[in-house]
Amino acid sequence: MGFLDQLKQLQELKSKMDDVKSRLDTITVSEENSFVKVTVNGNRKVTGIEFKQQVDNKDLEGHLLNVLNEALVKSDSVMQSEMKGIMPNIPGLT
């Protein structure tokens, strides 16, 4: 396989990755506990925070951090699943 063939494959991969990124913008995951609900899209962007009850700032900080981290883990899983199908068959990159 020549350099031009590899360049063409890389351009196709970039196009596929752009498509996946656009699709990930439309996928949302949520995580919640009794204090807060966080919504994150497939590109790991926080799109919503909903407070369910009043708590002091120190407690809220801990609850928010836990829920954010769990939502980001779910978002990573969605992203990996979407990207899995576009990476094979490129020599030197796998």
Domains of the chain: 3-86 (3.30.1310.10)
Tens of pLDDT, residue by residue over 37-60, are 999 999 999 999 998 888 788 888
Q: What's the pTM?
A: 0.69
Looking at residue 27, its pLDDT comes to 93
What is the C-alpha separation between 19 and 25, in angstroms, rounded? 10
pLDDT band at 13 (very low <50, low <70, confident <90, very high): confident
User: What residues form DSSP beta bridges with 36?
Assistant: 51
Residue in the structure block whose two tokens are 């949520």: 30
**Average confidence score pLDDT of the chain:** 85
For the chain, what percent of residues have pLDDT higher than 70?
A: 90
Give the distance between the most distant pair of CA atoms in the chain. Answer: 63
- The three-state DSSP-derived secondary structure of 29-46 is EEEECCCEEEEEECCCCE
**Interacting residues of 1 by C-beta distance below 8 A, sequence separation 6+:** 91
